[in-house]
Amino acid sequence: MYYRFDPDEWRPAQGRGSYSRATTGRLKPDSIVVWDRQPYRVVEVRERDQVDWPQDYRDAWVKHGMPDPGAWDYRPRVMVIRHDDQPQSKQLHLQCPDSTYWHVLPEHYWVCRRCQEVPPCRHVHNEAIMDRASERMEKEMAILPGVCHGCREPISKRQKSFTFPGANLIRPDLGDGSAIFHTRRGCYGFLDSYDKRWAAAEPGRERLLYCAHTLTEHNDGSRECSSPACVADGREENLVQHPNWVRHHPQLRSGQGCWCLAAAAA
Please give the full DSSP string across 182-231, using - where no structure is assigned.
Answer: E-SGGGHHHHHHHHHHHHHTSTTPPPSSB-SSEEEE-TTS-EEES-TT-T
Residues of the chain with CATH 2.30.30.30: 20-124
Hey, is 104 helix, strand or coil?
A: strand
What DSSP state is assigned to residue 73?
Answer: T
Class of CATH domain 20-124: mainly beta
Q: How many separate helices (H) and strands (E) can be counted in the chain?
A: 4, 11
Which residues, in sequence order, are bridge partners of residue 217?
223, 247
Residues 6+ apart with CB under 8 A from 80: 42, 43, 44, 45, 46, 91, 92, 93, 94
Please, how many CA atoms are within 13 Å of residue 197, restricted to the half-sphere of its CB?
13
Separation between Cα atoms, residue 112 and residue 128, nearest integer Å: 16
Digit-coded pLDDT (tens) for 183-231? 998 999 999 999 999 999 999 999 999 988 888 887 777 788 888 888 8
pLDDT in tens, the chain (266 residues): 334 557 778 888 887 667 889 999 999 999 999 999 999 999 999 999 999 999 999 999 999 999 999 999 999 999 999 999 888 889 999 999 999 999 999 999 999 888 889 988 888 888 888 888 788 787 878 888 999 999 999 999 899 999 999 999 999 999 999 999 999 989 999 999 999 999 999 999 999 999 888 888 877 777 888 888 888 766 666 788 888 888 776 555 554 556 564 444 44
> What pTM value is reported for the model?
0.56
